[in-house]
Structure 1
């Protein structure tokens, strides 16, 4: 096996299963086991080929960042017993993703370039260029769709529709800004700029918890700090570490997830280049060499680690 495309376990005590774009989630009463597979998605579409070591990179970077932010907001994690597995509390997710942007890039830039000066109810000034730093970080939430595309939504719409109460939403905003500030500090220590990212939150025992992954190349965009200003002044593309290069490759080959479009052929060269970029981000972000876990008996390894840990009362 060269990559983990999916899992199909059946555990004693399991109460449910959910397959997301990237993760397979196994439910157990008030706990869950989340398996980071090697699937990759873009424009809310799961691409046909899995990317070797991608799941391991995501799970390990998320683990580092969740530990590094636990003093800001409690999070769902109980243990990480396997390079691709995290076990934690089963929280009730809020149906919004809290996207925060410090720079005009990606989706926000594409909207701005198309002439829009308001993103999710936030007004942007005239005269900005792609990848410019914003006057201050802006929060541009999206709906959290179980299927299909997430949609931009404003703070006012979220509260008016009762998706999240005003009191809870104010708390989510405060956590989002504090997490982004911490993520910015951590990135700067490694010579990176945290451009934008998303956070997801849930409720557990009446308290707000940070859930899912944070500050990974799937959920975040990073630029290299060195040379940023010079490249920006010269109108050059920024050197970045994120999934944006995958989106750009798809766009250049006529795919943006729209009806009637076909995903371009993912050659072995493309797959390996994506894998290399994920590993590069891990090594730059952590300052440590990436250890490639063997794919031999990987499914049995993950299954055993879940069985051994899911009801471990020491968690």
Structure 2
């Protein structure tokens, strides 16, 4: 299978390489965002998953279109299956995470902290007696700082965000309202497809007018947890992990073998990479109700992207 591990295109200006995406800022205020097949977890790149970039872009496209009535988003065009051209934004320094279940796989997750006895997190008091992967009384917002390269996201409370001047009170109120409304829409549409939207991360920015706009991606298997609804109750009662449609199972594979924040992470086996590609494909098809057909034009994925982006050179 063809894999896009790198998407450097020298003819495009102002290149910035993120963990998963390659960005190019055009002089006219647009940004070209190319989703590679790199898989990031635990603040490192674990491997590359065939078709992941295309599947992420097309899953996000579905959700951007389904939520455009809730809040404005950055999307301007899709010149290639792996590429979105959007409005360049000043990204707000807070990531907005919405959670509807007590879930997680890492040592820093809400679930791990809860099992270690913590109840006050992100300025929210969680009730006693919750079990692994249990539904929370209501969806909550658990904001974090945006870590610099190599750093870890820091949990924040509303008061800390306002006191540090990371967001104004008006900005906080707006992104909170948007995030909960987006999550409610995602939860409802996922339920119609037999999925549970467990939690997700939103990134917002402001345009030149100061308008808050949804950026990056939305409700993808990279930014969200999805569980299969049909088997959730049975697995929950048995104390088993819910069946997931995201990168959570690859996180679980890693954490079963090491502490990913302290130890050297073992090489991801080929069969797990293939399984992950199938999971991303199944997630796209289940979420959107569409059959996925990979775009195999071009000698390589990067060759195809270069050709489709030629008008931007």
Q: TM-score range by the shorter chain?
A: over 0.9
Partner of 2:290: 288
Q: CA RMSD in A?
A: 1.5
By how many angstroms is 1:100 displaced? 0.4
Task: Supply the distance in 1 between the matched residues of 2:229 and 2:300 (Cα, whole angstroms).
Answer: 40
By how many angstroms is 1:284 displaced? 1.4
Partner of 1:237: 241
Partner of 1:299: 302
The Cα offsets for residues 95-127 of structure 1, whole Å up to 9 and x where unpaired, read as 111000001101211111121112211110000
Task: Supply the distance in 2 between the matched residues of 1:278 and 1:104 (Cα, whole angstroms).
Answer: 23
Tell me, what secondary structure is at the counterpart of 1:194? Answer: strand
Task: Supply the distance in 2 between the matched residues of 1:278 and 1:221 (Cα, whole angstroms).
Answer: 12
Mapped pair 1:255 → 2:253: no
Tell me, what secondary structure is at the counterpart of 2:64? Answer: helix
Task: Supply the distance in 1 between the matched residues of 2:245 and 2:305 (Cα, whole angstroms).
Answer: 28
By how many angstroms is 1:187 displaced? 0.4
Mapped pair 1:187 → 2:190: yes
User: Unpaired segments of 5 or more residues in structure 1?
Assistant: none
| TM-score (normalised: structure 1) | 0.93
User: Unpaired segments of 5 or more residues in structure 2?
Assistant: none
Partner of 1:139: 141
Task: Supply the distance in 2 between the matched residues of 1:256 and 1:123 (Cα, whole angstroms).
Answer: 28
Partner of 1:11: 11
Partner of 1:211: 215
Match of 1:163 among 157, 162, 166: 166
Task: Supply the distance in 2 between the matched residues of 1:185 and 1:226 (Cα, whole angstroms).
Answer: 15
Partner of 2:124: 122
Task: Supply the distance in 2 between the matched residues of 1:43 and 1:194 (Cα, whole angstroms).
Answer: 21
By how many angstroms is 1:293 displaced? 2.3
Partner of 1:31: 30
Partner of 2:154: 151
By how many angstroms is 1:159 displaced? 0.7
Tell me, what secondary structure is at the counterpart of 1:226? Answer: helix
Tell me, what secondary structure is at the counterpart of 1:223? Answer: strand
| TM-score (normalised: structure 2) | 0.94
Instruction: State the aligned residue count.
Output: 305
4+ residue runs of structure 1 moved beyond 4 angstroms? none
Partner of 1:2: 2
Task: Supply the distance in 1 between the matched residues of 2:243 and 2:301 (Cα, whole angstroms).
Answer: 34
The Cα offsets for residues 122-143 of structure 1, whole Å up to 9 and x where unpaired, read as 1100000011110010100011
Task: Supply the distance in 1 between the matched residues of 2:7 and 2:51 (Cα, whole angstroms).
Answer: 15
